[in-house]
Structure 1
Amino acid sequence: MAIIGQPRSFHKRFKFLVKIDDIGHAGFQKCSELSVEVANVQYFEGGSLIPNKSPGRLTFTDVTLEQGATKDHQLFDWIQDVVHMSSGLGLPDALYKRNSDIVRQDRDGTTLRRRSPSRAWPVKFVAGEWDNESDENVIEAVTLTYDHFELVPQSTTSPQSATTI
């Protein structure tokens, strides 16, 4: 007699929900850090031994998102748009740079934190290793670069209260 079990559902394990313009949303298991670094510009005025310091250029780290492979291919299509743009077709920014929200959720689905990278676009897509002898799922990863990001407070999601970096 066959044993009928429940199909696996990984949706309850998603901890990050990523919403991207023109793509919709996708659940991810892992999300790397979003960070910004301000360069320290030093100059010595009039032969002074003590430098005058001021903030310089901002550097944003790329963010990497990982999920189990699905039938959805919208993220791969997005990187294809970037490939076509870089191959000389000259697509305008609006066709490949998109605003996004990375929402960290609790187990019950409540929003813990929200980060909003602006004008993001994929720089790397990894389809994952296929191993027929393994019980592991294929993990896809996409790395996004962005112009800047906002930290949206928990209490409200209005754009007026967001902190832009």
Structure 2
Amino acid sequence: MAQFAVNTHRLDPYKNFKFRVRWDNEYVAGLSKMSAIKRTTETIEWREAGGPSVIRKMPGRTKFEPVTFEAGVTHDPQLMAWADLVNNPRGDAAMSLKNYRKEVTVEVLNMQATPVMGFILHRAWVSEFQALPEMDANANAVAISTLKIEYEGFTLAARPAEPAET
């Protein structure tokens, strides 16, 4: 049974290490890792007093888990610039009430780095920013910045046609 319409020979799913993220029409430099895009709907249990002793279940509030991006420290100020829109070190008056929320697009790429699907995180804003990790002169690692965002829902982006694999 083929899972792909164009590449009927393909049975394996896409890899989790080929992706890219953008906001303000700019891709994030040095991005190496992101947490899952996830929503959870609470369950409301309900039972009618005179009815059968059966607990009924219905959907309640839906919440969206924050997403954390990890990027190697570079000269690109993109992560800090967004974090400063929410909580500016120059004080409350420097906060941007207009621009601190963004539409964030996460693109899944195939092994040829061609976008195959994407998700848009709506009304995202920075809730946590780590400019530098703990530094260690004895370590052998890349310095990583982290950006944690909150968002109010996600949708599937306009899906490109399945690219033919060569």
Shorter-chain TM-score bucket reads 0.7 to 0.9
Alignment of 1:88-127 (within 5 A): 88-89=92-93, 91-92=96-97, 94-126=98-130, 127=132
- Percent same amino acid among aligned pairs? 26
Alignment of 1:3-152 (within 5 A): 15-21=18-24, 24-27=26-29, 28-48=31-51, 49-84=53-88, 88-89=92-93, 91-92=96-97, 94-126=98-130, 127-152=132-157
Contact preservation (8 Å) 2:68, 2:148: yes
Distance across 2 between alignment mates of 1:91 and 1:64: 22
Q: State TM-score, norm by structure 2.
A: 0.73
Distance across 2 between alignment mates of 1:37 and 1:58: 6
Q: State TM-score, norm by structure 1.
A: 0.73
User: What letter is aligned with 2:157?
Assistant: V
Unaligned runs of 5+ in 2: 1-16, 162-166
Q: SS where residue 87 of structure 2 aligns?
A: helix
Contact preservation (8 Å) 1:116, 1:150: yes
* RMSD, aligned α-carbons: 2.6
> How big is the shift at 1:97?
0.6
Q: SS where residue 45 of structure 1 aligns?
A: coil
Contact preservation (8 Å) 2:115, 2:160: no
